[in-house]
Structure 1
């Protein structure tokens, strides 16, 4: 994956005031939203895992910086942890640097598709889904978070967990961390029962930032295929060649 620090320091970003909705529509080409995220850890469930694995899981329970890069065509979201880079060859002429163990979430506003890219068993896997996959219930309750008046919404995610989100229309964009999308505003705070996300800062640029794109050589699967081929016991067979997974190029 590309190094995100280059995004922040090579293009001018302007932090605008809270009444920025009209400014975004007239002057802004890109938006950078800085978040923090952390994962809930059940010590009882991990106590029998190898110590190295326990350390990795506990590291995710601390707040970690993440970033959402947004423009009119789409967006991507990823962590900014300073963890080991690994360069992998994705074709005869192209190499790609990925963060080990890191997921990247893409939204394509032109095709209404979302993608989640991750490394599984030494291959890039791209989970393709609908952009507006969540059925949000918009509630009347409001709360001030970091001096921003936010509205409450709830939904149920693909794992059956209740998701509580707080969002604002102050910034004139619709988006959120990871794959959470579809609210009439920007998500400021979200808890999905496993991960918690909170927004730190919103920056605007009058230049169009280049978006990181999904790998064209990834194995594109549906959420159902991902669960069957990589999560529910079939991945080990796939590694030995006993289970065939369909390999497709990224298609809109």
Structure 2
């Protein structure tokens, strides 16, 4: 372990010395969230035709497989989903909302010197600007190493609290669990819920469990000695190139240092300023309202609920 520490210090010092006084880098990350549970549930649903399955899998691919760009300097970074042209349609707003809940949309700005972050989110037609303190993860160094591309990387783990508005780690309840909970409700309410579910042919929020915490595995390279990484990840003595975040894997596929084309790294200023907890409460409340509305109206109303001011 002592040999590992000395090696890490040597690499870190060597890398710092080789860096210019001012620099900027760009990293491309591929994010993929597991959809195994959803596909297994579709396999057990005889009402889903091959055409419906194909359409659902295409939508899941758009929501769960994304490409992000991280532009960074010594103290700050912006992390944003790669822009793609989307065909116009009546479900565009709903797809943007779902994309946001699955980690996409908006620009994630981190300032590791000030230990703050700012991210703009659009939810149900209303713009929010989340401004809060960066969560400080208690990283544990494992001593394991591997190469990612041309970079020597070291492994670290941590336990992270899950934001209530981030549904990437939502787990579909087993059918027995959902039935047991349903039996505990009032009879009439259960009938409405089952009827609504049958008419919609989809999943309800009551069918999901959200974990409170998840274990994070990160691989970082001290050859790029900055406190940065994708999304809200930071705090390691080198750029984070890979993160295993519960059901999501974020992997760096391209890295460019000191390009002639510089990017302005600054936070967004659009939207109603809220703390992360406030935003989580708004999202969960509106999702519950949607669930109740679908139950009451049998899934017939496909319009979005207007956000209050």
TM-score, normalised relative to structure 1:
0.70
1:154 aligns with 2:157: yes
2:228 corresponds to: 175
Greater per-residue strand proportion = 1
Aligned counterparts of 2:225 and 2:108: Cα–Cα separation in 1: 21
User: SS of 1:178's equivalent?
Assistant: coil
Q: Following TM superposition, by how much is the alpha carbon of 1:117 offset from its aligned partner in structure 2, in angstroms?
A: 2.0
Q: Which residue of 2 aligns with 1:7?
A: none
Residue 34 of structure 1, aligned match among 28, 33, 45:
28
Other-structure match for 1:198: 251
Aligned position for 2:263: 209
How far apart are the structure 2 equivalents of 1:191 and 1:168?
Answer: 16
Number of residues of Structure 1 aligned to a counterpart in Structure 2: 209
TM-score w.r.t. structure 2 length? 0.58
The 5 Å alignment of 1:76-115 reads 76-84=78-86, 100=96, 101=99, 102-115=105-118
After the TM superposition, which residues 233-252 of structure 1 pair with which residues of structure 2 at under 5 Å, given as runs?
A: 233=286, 236=289, 239=306, 241=308
Q: Could you tell me how far apart the structure 2 residues matched to 1:60 and 1:235 are?
A: 21
| Separation in structure 1 between the aligned mates of residue 243 and residue 233 of structure 2, nearest angstrom | 9
Higher helix residue share: 2
Q: Which has the larger radius of gyration?
A: 2
> Alpha-carbon deviation of 1:119?
1.0
Q: Alignment partner of 1:157: what SS?
A: strand
Q: How far 1:46 moved relative to its partner?
A: 6.6
Q: Is the 8 A contact 1:38 1:60 kept in 2?
A: no
Report the Cα offset of residue 37 of structure 1. Answer: 1.5
Shift of 1:53: 5.9
Q: Give the SS at the match of 2:77.
A: strand
Distance 1:20 1:202 in 2: 16
Runs of 4+ deviating beyond 6 Å: 48-51
Q: Identify unmatched segments of 5+ residues in structure 2.
A: 1-13, 89-94, 100-104, 163-212, 291-304
Contact 1:40/1:193 (CA < 8 Å) preserved in 2? no
